[in-house]
Amino acid sequence: MAFSQTDLATPLFRRLHRFAMTAALPLAMFAIGMMSGCVSIDGGAVEARWDLQFGGDTCTAPGASDPLCQRGHRVSCALGNVGFVEVVLDALSGHDDPCDRAGAPCRFSCEDLVGTTTFFIPEGDYAISLRARDRAGVPLGSGDGIALPAPVVRQVLKGELTNLDVNLIIVQACSGC
């Protein structure tokens, strides 16, 4: 659409142009900046993936004809009675586990099968492992029929994501059996 010289000289056009340059453009740039998703990077991050597999004998729920759990088959978090999985960081330099701090973003819903911390972990070498918890937050271990993988040593660097690959959690007894 072309404008004539008389259109450009009208007070309304000048006011609209002034508004666009003084208010609308900065507002649009602010909105675009907010959508870019800036995050604070105070250290490194860890990403963990897990899968639950039944390691016990075949289990059939009372009154059911099909097995609920079979050895070597994948089981749901609910059948394994696992509510949360959390990352455990054992610093090889001897300092405290940053995931033990109150509010640390290291606990994830088991159903997600993946969890990524924020970039808050101090640089260093860590023996990184997973801990399973029930829905009430109580730690689960071998006494509860849960076998967790051994820790793996990884270096965490500021601004980088440290990947743990997939960890297999073995469930010895399914709930409901």
The predicted-structure confidence for 120-151, as pLDDT tens digits, reads as follows 999 999 999 999 999 999 999 999 999 999 99
- Identify the domain containing residue 19 by its residue range: 5-35
165 burial type by CB count under 10 A (0-12 exposed, 13-18 middle, 19+ buried): exposed
> Per the domain annotation, does 40 fall within a domain?
no
Helix (H, G, I), strand (E, B) or coil at 70: coil
Q: CA-CA distance, 146 to 173, in Å (whole number)?
A: 8
Q: CA-CA distance, 52 to 175, in Å (whole number)?
A: 13
Give the list of residues 6+ apart from residue 139 with CB closer than 8 angstroms, or none: 131, 132, 133
> Per the domain annotation, does 176 fall within a domain?
no
The reply to whether 17 and 72 lie within a common domain is: no
The reply to whether 116 and 161 lie within a common domain is: yes
The reply to whether 160 and 87 lie within a common domain is: yes
Instruction: Output the pTM of the full model.
Output: 0.72
Helix (H, G, I), strand (E, B) or coil at 114: strand
Structural domains in the chain (count): 2
**pLDDT one-digit tens code per residue, 14-65:** 666 665 556 554 555 555 555 555 667 889 999 999 999 999 877 766 666 6
Q: Are 109 and 136 in contact (CB under 8 A)?
A: no
> Per the domain annotation, does 84 fall within a domain?
yes
Q: CA-CA distance, 28 to 38, in Å (whole number)?
A: 17
> Per the domain annotation, does 11 fall within a domain?
yes
Mean pLDDT of the 99-123 span: 94
